[in-house]
Structures are given as C-alpha cells and as structure tokens.
Amino acid sequence: MTDIKAALRAQHIETPSWAYGNSGTRFKVFAQKGVPRDPYEKLADAAQVHAYTGIAPTVALHIPWDKVDDYADLARHARELGVGIGAINSNVFQDDDYMLGSVTNPSARVRRKATDHLLECVDIMDATGSDTLKLWFSDGINYPGQDDIRARQDRLAESLAEVYDRLGEGQRFLLEYKLFEPAFYATDVPDWGTAYAHCVKLGPKAQVVVDTGHHAPGTNIEFIVAFLLREGKLGGFDFNSRFYADDDLMVGAADPFQLFRIMFEVVRGGGLDAEAGVAFMLDQCHNIEPKIPGQIRSVMNVQEATAKALLVDREALAAAQSEGDVLGANAVFMDAYNTDVRPLLAELREESGLAPDPMTAYAKSGYFEKIAAERVGGNQAGWGA
Amino acid sequence: MTDIKAALRAQHIETPSWAYGNSGTRFKVFAQKGVPRDPYEKLADAAQVHAYTGIAPTVALHIPWDKVDDYADLARHARELGVGIGAINSNVFQDDDYMLGSVTNPSARVRRKATDHLLECVDIMDATGSDTLKLWFSDGINYPGQDDIRARQDRLAESLAEVYDRLGEGQRFLLEYKLFEPAFYATDVPDWGTAYAHCVKLGPKAQVVVDTGHHAPGTNIEFIVAFLLREGKLGGFDFNSRFYADDDLMVGAADPFQLFRIMFEVVRGGGLDAEAGVAFMLDQCHNIEPKIPGQIRSVMNVQEATAKALLVDREALAAAQSEGDVLGANAVFMDAYNTDVRPLLAELREESGLAPDPMTAYAKSGYFEKIAAERVGGNQAGWGA
Amino acid sequence: MTDIKAALRAQHIETPSWAYGNSGTRFKVFAQKGVPRDPYEKLADAAQVHAYTGIAPTVALHIPWDKVDDYADLARHARELGVGIGAINSNVFQDDDYMLGSVTNPSARVRRKATDHLLECVDIMDATGSDTLKLWFSDGINYPGQDDIRARQDRLAESLAEVYDRLGEGQRFLLEYKLFEPAFYATDVPDWGTAYAHCVKLGPKAQVVVDTGHHAPGTNIEFIVAFLLREGKLGGFDFNSRFYADDDLMVGAADPFQLFRIMFEVVRGGGLDAEAGVAFMLDQCHNIEPKIPGQIRSVMNVQEATAKALLVDREALAAAQSEGDVLGANAVFMDAYNTDVRPLLAELREESGLAPDPMTAYAKSGYFEKIAAERVGGNQAGWGA
Amino acid sequence: MTDIKAALRAQHIETPSWAYGNSGTRFKVFAQKGVPRDPYEKLADAAQVHAYTGIAPTVALHIPWDKVDDYADLARHARELGVGIGAINSNVFQDDDYMLGSVTNPSARVRRKATDHLLECVDIMDATGSDTLKLWFSDGINYPGQDDIRARQDRLAESLAEVYDRLGEGQRFLLEYKLFEPAFYATDVPDWGTAYAHCVKLGPKAQVVVDTGHHAPGTNIEFIVAFLLREGKLGGFDFNSRFYADDDLMVGAADPFQLFRIMFEVVRGGGLDAEAGVAFMLDQCHNIEPKIPGQIRSVMNVQEATAKALLVDREALAAAQSEGDVLGANAVFMDAYNTDVRPLLAELREESGLAPDPMTAYAKSGYFEKIAAERVGGNQAGWGA
C-alpha cells in the first residue's frame, strides 16, 4: 500500500487552459458566469484545481488562444499561483486560410504559414520553459477526390520534419491522431498507425499522443497504449470520454471500466515512472456543467482509475494467466476494479494536508461566487478567443 | 420509359433556407462570398436551384432564423421568384434557456416557452400557407443521472400533444429523430422507434421524418423507409450524407448505392405518388464548397438515384426473388444501379426547356459574380442569424 | 437497506440450457470436459448455478435442441433438482429449409413449416407449464435486391398473428430483435422499433425482449429499457455483453457501468416488481471458459449491478435533477456505482444459508470433477444438438 | 483507352480454395450441391472462374484444409487446368490446442507447434512454387485480464522473426490484421498499425495485407491503402464486402463506391504495376449463393471498379485539386464512377476470345449440372475439411 500511495502522490495530471473558457457544439455555445477573459484568469482557475486535488500542477496552453505579449510574465504568474506551464498546443484550424487544410493544404503559401505557426510555438516553449509541443491537425477533406490523399502525406511529412529539426535540447513534440471531425471524409492523421509511422521516421523526439475520444467505434484503446509503450512511442494522453464521437465529456464519465483498463496498461508498461515521460493531460470541455468543478471531478476520475490499476494483484494475475485460467485471471482483474478506492484517496489527501473531498472543499471555498462577481465585462474566453 | 420520365418530372425536392447561409463545425465557420443576409436573399438563391434543375420548387424555413415581420410578404416574394414556402422548422436549441433541453427541460417555465415557440411556428404555417411543421429536438442529457430519462418522455409527450391539437385542417407535423449531438449521452428522440411510437399515439397528422445522417453505424436506413411506408408513417426525408456522424455532406456523396437503395424502397412502397405525402427535403450544409452549386449537385444526386430506382425491372426482380435466386435477384437490382442515367436526365431537362447540365448552366449564368459583388456589408446568414 | 435486501432476494435470473453445452464461433467450437449430453444433464448443471447463487431458479429450453419425448417428465426432473422450466425458445434457423428465412421465407411451404414449429413450442409450453415463448428470427437477406424487404414484413406479421392467437390464458410471447447476424444486409426484426410495432398491433400478450448484445454501436440500451417499460412492453432481457458485435460474453464483463445504468432504469421503472413481468434471462455462451462457473459469475454480475441500482439515493437524485445540477445529479448516480456491494451480497447469501462466495463454493464442491469423469461417451450438447 | 485496356488485361485476381467449399455462420453451415470434396476438385472449380473471366489465373491454398501428400502433383494438376498456385494461407485456429491462441498462446508448447505449422507452410511454398505466405492469426483474448496484452506482442514478434528468417529467395509473407472475431476483447493484430510496425522491423519480405472486411466502423480503407503504398508496405488485398462486421459478402456488393475509391488509390499509387507486387485476392464465402458464380461475380466487380478507377481524368483532377475547387474535383472523380463500364469490359473480353458476359456463359456451360451429378458421396469441403 505504501508503494501505491507513493505512485499516486507522484502522478501529475495536466489541465488545459481552454477547458476554463466557454465551449459548446456547432449548435450553440452556452455562456457561463465567471468564465475567464484572458490567459491569466485561466491560469488562476487551473490553480484552483491543483489546490484541491494536489495533483494538477501544470496547465497546457493553446496558441493563438493564449497569445500574450510576454510569455515569461505569464510563466511567472503561473508560478505565483503554484502551477507551471505544460504543453504548448498549436492550433492551426481557425484561420480562414486553413479551410482546406494547414500543413497539408494544396497551397504552398498556406502550408508555409501553418508551419511558421508551429515554429512560433517552439519559440513559446523556449520562452515559457515548456518541453512539449502538441500537434493536432484538423486537416483532411470532405469529399472523395477533393484532394490527393497521398500528396497530403508528403506535405505533412515535410512540415513535421521542419518542426522536428527546430526542437531544442530536452524538447519533444507529440503527434495527435483523430478519426474525423472537422474533416468528414479523409483525415490526414486519422489513427495511431499514421502518427506512429511519422514519429518513427522522425526520431526519438517525436511521440504519439492518445486522445481517448478520437477512435472508431469498437477500438481497443488499451491495446494501443500497451503497444506504444512497448515501442517507447507513447508520449501522453489527452483524456476525456465519449459515448459516440469526440464528445469531450469528462474523463471516466462514459466508461469508467475502460479508463481502468487503460491505466492498468500504463502501470503494467511502466508508464507511471517519471522516466517514461508519459504526459497525463485532460482535453475536454464542459458545455453544460461548471468548468472548475468539472475539471476537479475529471482529475479525481483519473486518480481513482489509477488507484484501482495499482491495486491489481499482479502476481496472482500472472499466475492465472500462465495457467490459462480465463475466469480466474479475469476475477483478479475485476477484484481491483470493484474495489471502492475513495476512502484510500481521501486518506491520501489528508496525509498531504488537503481536504478529503475536493468537490465539497471547492464548493465551500467561495471562489466561484468571487469570480462570478468580479469577471463582469470583457469577452469571455472560448474557442477563438 | 414514358412512365419513368413522368415520375421524374413529378418529383419535387425541397431545399432548406439555412443551406444558403454560412455553416461549419464547432471548430470554425468559414465565411463565403455572396452569402445571403436575410430570408429574402436566401429565397433568391433557392430560386436559382429551381431554375436550373426544374425540380426544387419549395424552400423550407427555419424559425427563428427566418423570422420576418410579414410572412405573407415573404411568401409573395417567394412566388415572384418562382418558388414556394415548404416546411416550417422550429429551432429550439439556440436560446440560453435551452441548455438543459427545450420541451423536455426539467423547468416548467422553459418547457412552456419552447412549446409556445412551436405553436408560433404553426401560426407561421397559417401565414405562409405551409402545410408541414418539422420538429427536431436537440434535447437530451450529457451525463448518466443528469436527468430522468423517463420523465423527459412524459414531458415530450405532453408538448407534442399540445402542438398536435393546434394543427389545422391539412396541416401535419413531422417528428425527427437523431442518435446524438448535441446531446452526448441520451437523446430524447434518438431513433425511429421513439418517433414512431409518439406519432402513432397522436394520430394521422403526426409522421416520422428520416434524416439520412441521424443513425447509428450499420443502421439499414432503407429498411426503416420500407417499414414506415408500410405503416403510413413516413412523412418525409431530410437528405444529406455522412461517413461518420451527422456530417451533413451533400446527399449521395458518401454512399450513392445507399441512396439508390433508399429510393428503391420509396418507389416500391408508392412513396413517389403525390397522395403518399412524402416530402423530399435536403438538410445539409456546405462548409467548404459554394452553397448554390452544392445544392444543385445535391438535387441532381437525388434525381439520379430516383431514376435508377425507377429503372429496376420489378417483374424480373420479383421472379428471381420468388425462386430464391439470390444472385439473379441481386443482378437485376445492380443492373439498374450500374446504368448511367445522366443522358436520360439531360434529355428530360431539355424536354422541359432547361439546360442539360445544371452545374455548367449555373456557373455560366453570372449569378454568383453578381451576388458576390452586391452582397457586401450586413451580417451574413448562418446558424444563429 | 431492508428494502434493498428484500428486492435482491426476490430477483430471479433465468439461465439458458444452451449455455451448458459447447459453443464457439464460425471458426471453431472448442469442446470442454463434462459437457452435458442431453437436456436432463443440462438441467442438472443449471441446478448447480441455482444451488450456489440462490437466485437462478428457472432454466430456458431451446426447441429443437431440447426436444424430449416426455416434457412432463423433464419438468418433473427439473423440480426434483430444485429448478423450474422457464421460457421456451423456438429455434428456426438450423434446418436446410431455412436458408432464405423461416417465417419470412419467400416459399409458402417453408413459412408453414416454420410457423408450425412455433405452434409446437406453445404445445411444449402447455406440457411444461412454461408461460413464455421467446421468438428470435435469424431471418433476413444478405444482398440488396435478394428479397422484398416489405413483403417479408407482411409474412412476419401473418405468422406472428397465428402464433398470438394460439397463446393460452396466462401465456405470452417475447419478440426479440437483432441488428445483424446471421443475415448480413437486412434483418427482418433488426431493432426495438420493429419488434415494438408488431407487438403493439398484436396486443398485450406480445412484448419485446432486449438482448443486450443486439444493437448498433452507440445505441443507448437503457433508453430503450426505460421507453419500453413506460409503454408496458418490456417483456424481459437476454443478458450478455459485447465489445463489438453479438459477442455473447458474460454479462457485465465488457461494460459493467452500462449494466448498472440498465438496471437503474429497471428499478426506476418498476421493472423489479413481480407484476411487471420482466424476465431476467441470460443468453450467452462460454466459448473458452468453463460453463457452470461462467454462469455463476454472470448471475453474480447481474446481482451486483442490481444492488448498485437499488443503492442510488433517488430522493437526492431527483432534487439535483430538478435544480438542473448536472454535476450533482451525476455524482449521486456515480456514488452508488462506485460502492463495493460485494460485502452486502455476501451477507445476503449467508442470511439465506448460502456460502458467501458462490465461485469458491462451487469450485470446492467437486461437481466438475464428477461430471468430467462421468460424462464420457455420447455426443456433447452444442448448437445443433 | 488503349492504356486502360492494357492495364485491365494485366490485372490478376486470385480466388481462394475455401470459397468453393461450404461455409456459413456460427448458426448454421448450409450444404450446397456439387461442392468439392478435395483440393483437386476445388482447383477444378477455380479454373472455371478463370475460364470465363480470363483474369483469375491463380488459386490460394489454405493449410491444413488443402493438405495433400504430393504438392508437386497438386501444382501440376493446377497447371493442367490452366491455373497456378497462389498464396499459401496458414490456418492456426482450428486445433483444440489453439483455444487460447497460437503463436501468442501463454503455453510455450503451443507456440512452438503453431510456429512449426507456419514453417511447414514455407515448405509447401517451396514445393508448389508459391512466393507468398499469408499469415492471419485469430489470436486474442475474450476477457479483460485474461492474458497479458503486451507479452502477447513479444511472443508474436518472436514467432514472426523465426518465420521471416526461414523465407527463401523471392519469398515473402503478408501479415493480416483484423479488428475482432473470433477474439472478442483484444485481438493481437487488430489494425494496420500493428501489422505495419511488425513488418517494418522485420524487413522488406514482410508486408501488410488489407482485408476489406476487417476494420472498425467508419474506417477509411482507401487511406490505409494509399499510406501503405507510399511506404512500400502494401502486400495485397483480401477482398470481400460487409455491412456490419466481417460479413465476407461478395466484394463490391455492399459499397461499390468504396471499392472504386480503393482501386483509385491503387492506380494512383502505382499498385497495378507488376513490380509493385500487390496481390489482388478474394477472401470471402458464399453462404447462401452458389459458389462458382459467386466468385465470377466478385471477380467482375473488382474488374469494374478497376476500370472506373482507370477512367478518372487524372489531369483534370489534379488541376481542380490544386485550385482548391472542391466541387470540381469531386465532379471529375464522380464522373468516372458514374460511367457504365460494362460495355467496355464486354468488348475487352471479346477481344480476348471470351464470352462478353461470364455469368451467362458459365450458366450455359453445364458445368454445375455436371458436378452436381458427379460429386455425390464423400465429405464436402468446408471449414475444417
């Protein structure tokens, strides 16, 4: 149990700045009270999540949404709040130029512009001390014949190589894949195989990031996790959950058993060790629920799944597996999942000087009432701001 | 062939006013040149589609997007353009009050407001002469436990009953179902069975509308079409196409063979006959392609599928089917699908005084250049406008 | 807690005779030791499941697999073993005549034969005292055009009506739906809507049965359960679980949270009450794990999900829901799911004179060693025997 | 057009020996008249497909189903019939030892046995002159925790390496992937990424084979084809079609437009050139339709899709693509698809001395009546024989 608690204490979960802003679907973005108006306010909210969970010490930025004049000042602001800057996300999907793609656009001019944006993100890494660039491309096509699927791979490879070469000592990029949306016929990085193949060619500074909402129905995500860890190519996670497509619901809300299976493969593959370099990031939005509690709940969900994964009796499991005892091995596995780990985690928090229940503690803190009163006027942050 | 041509001449395909405005995904709405700024300009664009295809004589309105002070004037404007007002769509998903639902909202006040909006749409039907109300509810929940699934059905039934009672002579409503989006856990009208069950209880003025993009993967849409026609409950179609979710691509673009199979069941079930009352509506958007040509192409795609469906040698098919000749029956069916019907349709158009190729004729007309130059300033129409 | 225990004590889960025989995929049926050779031995194995769980007192038969000369004798044998005969399943898919369908076959002769088989099953109900006929039709077509989709509905309706009329006092039939397999293009009863529509027309003795493995990806099964309960048309469940298609894995093995959500809707809709008449049946196979322990585990999984569903604080849930408190309502719901109910169920068993852990108790009983030694020679039961 | 005809004449489509035997689903294998009783008779049937289509000159064998004492004699028999031996398929899924896996089984003894079988298949390649070994592993697990997902990859890699080393000059193996079935939780080679990663490590003699029925819903198969061709890792196709899972219907029967898109990427990527080494194989079964005509129809379907793919005006397509003309590029693409290529193919056949319509010609030949009369007694071939 000591080992388990140590592992849980060491786990870090990164929250994304965009989760604190307004979000929604193509049908409607519903505005909420107290939503941040700039990156500084986003960091303040993220710091609340860390204050109550104790395991969310970094915040991912999204460029250009989080553009500021002085990144060193933003990083200093974060430190003062008790958090740090995590991954830099390069958003190349909201400029009119990117309608037919960014780095895979048929136009050389647009590709140049997109790659330049990626290079600028590395500059921001330098300025903020971030060691991770996260690359997601919405690039793809909507109609058969619209563009040359293979030529787009050539263009992608060219841009990635340029960015790879720009990475400094101790820096890396994570390449994200996604089945579909916003492209509706062919996406240029649609699956882990595509991301993996590009990363292998580029070298050790390129790794794959698994967004748990970006797969075709029926895909076994924990298999992908196990495979990438075995290859040394799992760079991290974008956690969220989904019943249908890329629903971006709170992680663990749709299929907590799946989250447990994923975390088990992480544990089994050594992915919790610091040297593995696996980043545990949230990447989800709260369209209809309040944002800060939504993030706290999500961090807790990942933590609970991790605790259960750590509780699996690996020795008993291995014994049953090697004997071909199907029901026995499954029972060892399910025994951990069926355990209620909430008392253990409450204890862990109290040992660290935190309140046992982060949700209640945050609710009682008055923080929400404060920001709802203060943050009046100005433009609330959201996609595109 | 005479019969086939007569059937093709009689077919009417309705285009939706929103297709002429800007649209997009949650990631970005890309603006296009020449996009209408008000319902009058939308009707003008829709009239172009009819002018070149000859089979798109009506236009669906969406309320509140197409709200005007004087609906009789709008209807007169349409008539002058050579088109008519089709179905009235009641949009109850873009008001902040509807965040947790419209007619199924836990709040009685919000439900009242939503139902009142539906009743107002019937007033607009009276004012415009429209005979069809189209009801789509984005209502649903994102998280298990968020609301009572069953109580929401009670609320839905109550609202539908009130609207049903308000319908006048010769008026009907079509209830639309959709698997998911924007609700991501449980949608209140998720499948045809739910829509059907409500409609059966309400009576003959309530029918189901099939949106071809609103099904779970693997769903056999033509089966649903055949079943609803057999029950007298197929009110119409919202045509579009998809590879993944509700992609709203041009109808026939993703799976033309599926469209053919659907149209075959329509033909086989008597759905082309005027007395069947099946409305053939487009309900799709053009995120990255120009809107008017996108609609023309879509109308042509439905027409081509209809022509192929009419070409099936029904006698030979029935003979092979009754003999259990699997390959023979399939061959009869595929023979029609594999036929190139474009020459036939070109001939049909020329017999009606139209250009044989609507796409080329529109492109040459100069209409786009005209609106691109004229429609400067003002707010382009789009979702929410 | 007293109410919860009472409800758990009253729950009955029916196991199917075929689960005790060999089963597999189209690729291979692996034979296991000690497998029954006839219906009498199947009942003996089913009695073991009841002996250790205390809540599996009935066994479903499958005709013709379980054909015997004297059904009264079989029923007497069951009673002596401490169990009873449950639903009668009418299998009309393994005769060469049924290659192109049973009750929907284009041949009138084959349809007659199939319907006669269904009527014979009602005779067996009379002879065994069973009150439930379960109808699953593998009928469908593999190729577009192969047969007339709509005419097949006519034939289906005709056969169902004849069977319905034959049902005696206190007898009913449950109509099962399935998305696909063994038909690969169009299945004649592919979804709950189709089954529901037929049952509504027939009357109160016809109800829908929900097999949890028979849906398209993404289908919200608990919605269907809630809807059918609201309509008084939920006849029962065929429980099993799946990651992909109709995998027929142990119920609760693939998505225990889904099973909990389903059981919650059952509880909420009054489906645990005896008068609701909802049959809780297992319908799964054990291709690679031993059969009796597989059934015991499955019964326990349903029981655990039921216990969690009963633990939901309905009052707190309703309060949060009516306030639109998304996170609060979800938290109440998840609190019950995250509870470890195994101690409660162990206690419940001990109060009933059973061993606290059925799996261990069965393993220690020596029953498997006994049947493995005794059941040598003869043909092991399986699909087709 | 000359080039197109030349390309069509050069195309070779391989049929599989197992398609001529009986097949079915887990529910039932329906027996058909005239079905072969041994590999010699299978080859005779395959020769008929070549005789009428002119483009099916090789036949894939499946070991152990097609085990004979003298493979040289079997190869000679094939040559006399006018066909040759194609790929050797290694079936390691029907021995009781393989219940928990073949090369990934937890038991070292079983793994040794399975790998030895693969090596024996290379011996058969030597004996028959086949240059291609096709590896499909049904290996996987049904329940979470049942076995160690990652250790199974280690075992897989070890076996593949041993087989790779055994390959002689001019020999290769193709590694097949499949989403699921018969394993229902985690399959050891579930997607192209896994197959690709193993093949890249092994070297140039290892390539990926794409079975068109082995993907998750929504997977863009033509993207995979384009990607693998770009990497030089597309070894070939197992063609068939599906609406749901691995339905193994006739290729082109479910989604002819998808087949066209796949063949277009083949053409665009140089995959029709002999030096590309892409094997075009059928891998499907005819559960309810006659086998030889089923294969003829399937060969024709691939040929028609190839002809349409060759008809795409590549120059016009590239021009529209580079201009970002979404509708224009799509129109060029669809123009080829909408063309009726059957007259062209009839002409091509007549130029080669064949009957213009292979289906009619075969039907009139009397071959079926002959084998139905002659092949009486003995065991019909099927899975497992």
Q: Which chain C residue has the Cα nearest residue A305? A: C338
Q: What are the backbone angles phi and psi of residue A86, rounded to the nearest 5°?
A: -100, -130
CA dist B291 and B41 (Å) reads: 13
Closest CA to A90 of A194, A167, A198: A167
**Would you state the pLDDT for residue B382?**
85
User: Measured between alpha carbons, how far is A336 from A348 in angstroms, rounded to an integer?
Assistant: 18
Q: pTM score, two decimals?
A: 0.98
> Does the CB of D226 have a partner CB in chain A at under 8 Å?
yes
pLDDT in tens, C115-160: 999 999 999 999 999 999 999 999 999 999 999 999 999 999 999 9
Contacts with C121 (C-beta within 8 Å, 6 or more apart), sequence order: C63, C88, C89, C90, C133
Would you give the DSSP letter of residue D352? T
| Cα torsion angle, D99, D100, D105, D106, sign | negative
Instruction: Pick the residue from chain A with its C-alpha nearest to D312.
Output: A145
Other residues' Cβ atoms within 10 Å of the Cβ of residue A70: 10
Give dist(CA B165, CA D31) in Å, integer.
58
CB contact under 8 A, A146 and D334: no
Is B350 part of the contact surface with chain C (CB cutoff 8 Å)? no
What's the CA gap between D119 and D113, in Å, rounded? 10
Asked if pLDDT for residue B199 goes beyond 70, the answer is: yes
Phi and psi dihedrals of B38, rounded to 5? -155, 170
Query: How much is the mean pLDDT over chain C?
Result: 97
| Token pair belonging to B208 | 């189901």
Q: In D, which residues are within 8 Å of C26 by CB distance?
A: 23-26, 182, 383
Q: What are the tens digits of pLDDT across the range B277-301?
A: 999 999 999 999 999 999 999 999 9
**Does pLDDT of C385 surpass 50?**
no
Q: Are A249 and B145 in contact (CB under 8 A)?
A: no
| pLDDT above 90 for A384 | no
* Helix C291-311 × helix C326-337 angle, to 10°: 140
- Tell me what pLDDT residue A344 has: 98
DSSP B352: T
A contact residues 125-154, partner D, Cβ 8 Å cutoff: 142-150, 153-154
- What is the separation, in whole angstroms, between the first and last Cα of chain D? 45
Average pLDDT, chain B: 97
Q: Please list, residue by residue across B320-341, b when 16 or more beta carbons sit within 10 angstroms of its beta carbon and e when fewer do.
A: bbeebbbbbbbbbbbbbbbbeb
Give the DSSP H/E element, type plus range, for residue C6: helix C2-10
Tokens of D127: 């004996």
Percentage of the residues of chain D whose pLDDT score is greater than 70: 99
- Strand A28-29 relative to strand A24-25: parallel, antiparallel, unpaired? antiparallel
Helix, strand, or coil here: D226?
Answer: helix
pLDDT at C2: 85
Q: If pLDDT is split at 50, 70 and 90, which confidence band does A385 have?
A: very low
Q: Is B215 on the interface with C (CB under 8 A)?
A: yes
* Structure-token pair, residue D213: 């029925």
pLDDT at D384: 54
C263 pLDDT above the threshold of 90 = yes
Q: CB distance D253–B327 less than 8 Å?
A: no
Band of residue A383 on the pLDDT scale cut at 50, 70, 90: confident
Give the list of residues 6+ apart from residue D173 with CB closer than 8 angstroms, or none. D132, D133, D134, D135, D163, D164, D167, D205, D206, D207
Interface test with A, best of B18, B27, B136, B178 (most A CBs within 10 A): B27
Exposure string of D99-128, with b = 16+ CB inside 10 Å and e = fewer, is bbbbbbbbeeebbebbbebbbebbebbebb
Under 8 Å CB-to-CB from D275, ≥6 apart: which residues?
none
Q: Is B256 on the interface with D (CB under 8 A)?
A: yes
Cα–Cα distance for residue pair A277/A299, rounded to 1 Å: 19
Please name the residue of chain B whose CA is at the shortest distance from the CA of residue C332.
B145
Name the H helices within C207-357: 221-231, 256-268, 291-311, 314-322, 326-337, 342-351
* Range D337-363 average pLDDT: 98
**Residue among B106, B149, B190 whose CB faces C265 most closely:** B149
Of the candidate ranges A145-149, C92-96, D362-366, the one whose mean pLDDT is the lowest: C92-96
Residue ranges in chain D assigned as alpha helix (H): 2-10, 39-53, 71-81, 108-128, 149-166, 192-202, 221-230, 256-268, 291-311, 314-322, 326-338, 342-351, 358-365, 367-374
Torsion angle of C-alpha atoms A106, B247, B256, D228, degrees rounded to 10? 50
Instruction: Evaluate whether ipTM surpasses 0.90.
Output: yes
B339 token code pair: 């036929």
Confidence of residue D98 (pLDDT cuts 50, 70, 90): very high
Candidates D32, D326, D332, D345, partner chain B, best to mutate (most B CBs within 10 A)? D326
Handedness of CA B174, B179, B182, B183 (dihedral sign): positive
- Is the predicted pLDDT of residue B385 greater than 60, yes or no? no
Chain B's closest residue to C258, CA to CA, is B144
Query: CATH for C2-312, among 3.20.20.150, 3.40.50.300, 1.20.120.1200, 3.30.465.10?
Result: 3.20.20.150
| Cα nearest neighbour of A141 on chain D | D326
User: Residue holding tokens 């469908």?
Assistant: C140
CA distance to partner chain C, nearest, from residue B382 (Å) = 30
**pLDDT above 90 as % of chain B:** 98
Q: CB–CB of B104/B152 below 8 Å?
A: yes
Residues ≥6 apart with Cβ < 8 Å to C335: C313
Contact D153, D187 (CB under 8 A): no
Contacts for D223 with CB less than 8 Å, ≥ 6 apart = A149, A186, A190, D265
| Phi, psi dihedral angles at C136 (to 5 degrees) | -120, 130
Backbone angles phi, psi at D202, to 5 degrees: -75, -40
What pLDDT score does B384 carry?
54
Q: Which residue of A has its CA nearest to B245?
A: A245
Is residue C358 within 8 Å of residue C48, measured between CB atoms? no
Kindly report, residue by residue over A53-109, the tens digit of the pLDDT.
999 999 999 999 999 999 999 999 999 999 999 999 999 999 999 999 999 999 999
Contacts of A110 (CB under 8 A, 6+ apart): A97, A98, A100, A101, A102
| Across C260-287, average pLDDT | 97
Q: Parallel, antiparallel, or unpaired: how do β-strands D279-282 and D234-239 relate?
A: parallel
Domain boundaries, chain D: 2-312
Is C38:C62 a contact under the CB 8 Å cutoff? no
* d(C-alpha A166, C-alpha C213), whole Å: 51
Residue B383's pLDDT band, with cuts at 50, 70 and 90, is confident
Residues of chain A in contact with residue D232, where contact means CB-CB under 8 angstroms, are none
Question: Which of B179, B193, B330 is opposite residue C191, by nearest beta carbon?
Answer: B193
Comparing CB atoms, the residue among B96, B100, B138 nearest residue A27 is B138
Where does the pLDDT of residue C384 fall: very low under 50, low under 70, confident under 90, or very high at 90 and above? low
Q: What is the pLDDT of residues A245-290, one digit of tens each?
A: 999 999 999 999 999 999 999 999 999 999 999 999 999 999 999 9
**Nearest partner of B85 among B129, B140, B41, B55, judged by Cα:** B129
Long-range pairs for A121-127 at CB < 8 Å and ≥24 separation? A121/A63, A121/A88, A121/A89, A121/A90, A122/A88, A122/A163, A122/A166, A122/A167, A122/A168, A122/A171, A124/A61, A124/A63, A124/A71, A124/A88, A125/A88, A125/A168, A125/A171, A126/A168, A127/A71, A127/A72, A127/A75
Q: Quick check: D385 pLDDT over 90?
A: no
CA C224 – CA D169 distance, rounded (Å)? 59
